[in-house]
């Protein structure tokens, strides 16, 4: 398989992941509305918990639009579910980050090699054997773009902003970004957790405090 076919294969896989993420998002939104319209009381609570579990698993996957799924659930169920959506999203990001910690950074080097990007592959293999602080120093020193060292030095702020950019599922979504953060070794667990909690909080917290009400009525929650 030549280089062009490899790029085509990666592009096809990327499109499939994006479409799968959109399908999951739409499926959860539709089933939320259906459960709200057809169920009541404790049975509805059980449906919400089931949808929340699917929401967590989906949001932890790369390229799945987790934020959009959360917004859809809040629009359907209203303010009373906002804190649950927030907790689910934080937990999903932690799951993705933890998965990234177990995936060797050399996996990225293999992908670069598959695409014929030998210089990038060699650089990743070189930093893979370094400690997190040494990796950070090497990336800053060797970056050809002056903006990249700024992003690396302020990586927690950059990560928080990336989580809140509309359409970030095109670059991996919350799950993909969190997995890369774990693989990079540049984010300690507690620093990542605090950053994720702060970055995800604004909209769910605002919805909860402003007592947003869905256009649907739900007396069972």
Q: What's the confidence (pLDDT) of residue 151? A: 74
In this structure, the number of other CB atoms found within 10 A of the CB of residue 37 comes to 10
- Tokens 């629009």 correspond to what residue? 75
111 within a domain of the structure (yes/no): yes
Pair 88, 127: CB distance under 8 Å: no
- What is the three-state SS of 53-115? HHHHHHHCCCCCCHHHHHHHHHHHHCHHHHHHHHHHHHHHHHHHHHHHHHCCCHHHHHHHHHC
219 within a domain of the structure (yes/no): no
Kindly provide the residue ranges of all beta strands, DSSP E only, lying in the chain, ordered along the sequence: none
Q: What's the confidence (pLDDT) of residue 1? A: 53
Per-residue pLDDT of the chain (221 residues; tens, 9 = 90+): 566 676 777 777 777 777 776 776 677 666 666 655 555 545 556 767 777 888 888 888 887 777 777 877 777 777 778 899 999 999 999 999 999 898 887 777 777 777 777 777 787 777 777 777 777 777 766 666 666 677 778 889 989 988 888 777 777 888 889 998 998 888 999 999 999 999 999 888 888 888 755 433 443 44
Pair 76, 36: CB distance under 8 Å: yes
DSSP code at position 165: S
Q: What's the confidence (pLDDT) of residue 204? A: 87
220 within a domain of the structure (yes/no): no
Cα–Cα distance, 116 to 112 (Å, whole number): 6
How many domains are there within the chain?
1
Q: Which three-class secondary structure state does DSSP give residue 212?
A: coil
Q: Which domain holds residue 169?
A: 1-214
Non-local CB neighbours of 48 within 8 Å, separated by 6+ positions = 35, 77, 81, 84, 221
Pair 81, 221: CB distance under 8 Å: yes
14 within a domain of the structure (yes/no): yes
221 within a domain of the structure (yes/no): no
207 within a domain of the structure (yes/no): yes
Cα–Cα distance, 163 to 90 (Å, whole number): 11
């Amino acid at each position: 398989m030549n280089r062009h076919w490899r790029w085509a294969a990666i592009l096809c896989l990327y499109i499939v992941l994006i479409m799968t993420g959109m399908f999951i998002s739409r499926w959860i939104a539709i089933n939320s509305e259906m459960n709200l319209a057809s169920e009541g009381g404790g049975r509805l609570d059980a449906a919400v918990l089931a949808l929340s579990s699917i929401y967590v698993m989906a949001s932890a996957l790369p390229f799945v639009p987790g934020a959009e799924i959360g917004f859809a659930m809040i629009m359907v169920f209203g303010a009373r579910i906002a804190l649950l959506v927030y907790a689910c999203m934080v937990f999903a990001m932690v799951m993705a980050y933890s998965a990234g910690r177990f995936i060797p950074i050399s996996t990225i080097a293999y992908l670069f090699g598959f695409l014929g990007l030998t210089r990038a592959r060699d650089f990743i293999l070189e930093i893979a054997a370094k400690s997190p602080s040494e990796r950070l120093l090497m990336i800053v020193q060797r970056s050809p773009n002056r903006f990249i060292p700024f992003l690396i030095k302020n990586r927690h702020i950059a990560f928080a902003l990336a989580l809140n950019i509309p359409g970030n599922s095109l670059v991996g979504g919350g799950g993909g970004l969190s997995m890369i953060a774990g693989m990079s070794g540049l984010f300690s667990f507690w620093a990542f957790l605090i950053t994720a909690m702060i970055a995800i909080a604004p909209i769910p917290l605002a919805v909860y405090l402003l007592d947003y009400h869905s256009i649907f009525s739900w007396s069972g929650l």
